[in-house]
Amino acid sequence: MSLGENLFEPGRIGDLVLPNRLVMAPLGRARSDLATRAPLERVATYYGQRASAGLIVSEATHVSPFSVSRPGGSAIHTQAQIAGWKQVTKTVHRQGGRIFQQLFHLGRKAHVERLPDNRIPIAPSAIAAIGDVPVAGGLAPFPVPRALETGEIQGIIDEFHLAAVNSRAADFDGVEIHAANGYLIDQFLRDRSNRRQDLYGGSIENRARFLLAIVDAAVNVFGASRVGVRISPHFTQDGIDDSNPASLYGYVAQELDRRRIAYLHVIEPDTIAPPERIAPHLRTHYSGALILCGEFTHESGERALTERRADFIAFGRLYIANPDLVARFRLQAPLNAPDPATFYSGGDEGYIDYPSLTPALAEVS
């Protein structure tokens, strides 16, 4: 297939017009201050280098002091964190870019050792994730979490609300609610991790209630046109799963459509065989902008746009290694290869030192 111009056409997300169809996928890189969890100066440099993306979605950012993952993870619940993120948004905006902040809570994927007062991680039900979590001195199995009392759930929704207020104070253009990859919201959505018998468990409507309350809280802060949602219907690592993903995510898509949010961001690796794809089904329930992510290349991304399977394509690992991915695609220039050894290693190496094209070449784009 010859490469068309689709990825380089402007597109609309909410009330924003993006100059192209490339989205930088959310990528946790463990480069925040170890004590304060505020982004360091190099974080502003990193996102600024990638500002030619149509839209940047920030790394997953913890909404609560009781959501703590690996050292260097970032958060947005203190004034120091807001001040750090302000430098990031300022740099991206100065470079002409747009950036949404991804908001999340780990839920059962936290570890007692990392949480303040050695608290037990929380979840919809007391069911441990399958697998290991990094702790001091190595890996430990995920602990059995504590099931939230019904009366505690509003408190977590309030943490997301306050995080959205803080994102706005830090001048983000919007927020993406992280309902993917087995974290707290995903744990509520799916029936293998949610065995509750109250208003937040059982039926699909009940399991989606937590997500939709968080979306409504974010919409109250930013307006619907600046709120996106990320889901991962095929993600079953960590023992998370659902007995009927098409119905579950179909309902979620329909409710998000009613709310007229900015976009739905679906992780559906392009390698998934067409009969097993869920995104085309979601398209029939959701009429807003659809972002697809997962193993896309320039060519397969163009194809998904041409076939109207997506409105935007998010690139993850390619954005780690290619700050000027838009220019490289446009010129069909060679791509830098990402180095997994430096994904979470801290420091500048493998973070802000991936080379851009020489200025002379990039100007042609």
Touching ligand FMN, residues 53-112 (CB under 6 A): 59-60, 102
Beta-strand relationship, 11-13 and 16-18: antiparallel
Interface pick for ligand FMN out of 140, 343, 356, 361 (rule CB under 6 A): 343
Largest CA distance in the chain: 62
**Sequence-ordered alpha helix ranges (H) in the chain:** 41-49, 79-94, 150-169, 184-189, 204-222, 245-259, 279-283, 298-306, 317-321, 325-331, 359-364
Q: Does 178 bind ligand FMN (CB under 6 A)?
A: yes
Rounded distance between C-alpha atoms, residue 302 and residue 4, angstroms: 7
Catalytic machinery residues = 183
Interface pick for ligand FMN out of 11, 28, 54, 84 (rule CB under 6 A): 28
Which region, judged by CB under 6 A, interacts with ligand FMN, from 36-44, 123-131, 250-258, 315-323?
315-323
Contact present, 340 and 320 (Cβ < 8 Å) = no
**Residue 130, C-beta contacts closer than 8 angstroms, at least 6 positions apart:** 142, 237, 238, 239
- What's the min distance (Å) between Cβ of 232 and ligand FMN? 8
Interface pick for ligand FMN out of 230, 298, 309, 330 (rule CB under 6 A): 230
Which region, judged by CB under 6 A, interacts with ligand FMN, from 147-155, 164-172, 196-204, 293-301?
293-301
Interface pick for ligand FMN out of 294, 301, 346, 350 (rule CB under 6 A): 294
Which region, judged by CB under 6 A, interacts with ligand FMN, from 19-27, 42-50, 78-86, 133-141?
19-27
Interface pick for ligand FMN out of 7, 13, 23, 25 (rule CB under 6 A): 25
**Cβ-closest residue to ligand FMN?**
316
**Residue 53, C-beta contacts closer than 8 angstroms, at least 6 positions apart:** 20, 22, 23, 24, 97, 319, 325, 326
Closer residue to ligand FMN (CB): 91 or 102: 102
Length of the chain: 365
Touching ligand FMN, residues 264-283 (CB under 6 A): 267
Residue 197, token pair as written in the block: 């018998």
Q: Does 293 bind ligand FMN (CB under 6 A)?
A: yes
Q: Which residues contribute to the site for ligand FMN (CB under 6 A)?
A: 25-28, 59-60, 102, 178, 180-181, 230, 267, 293-296, 315-318, 343
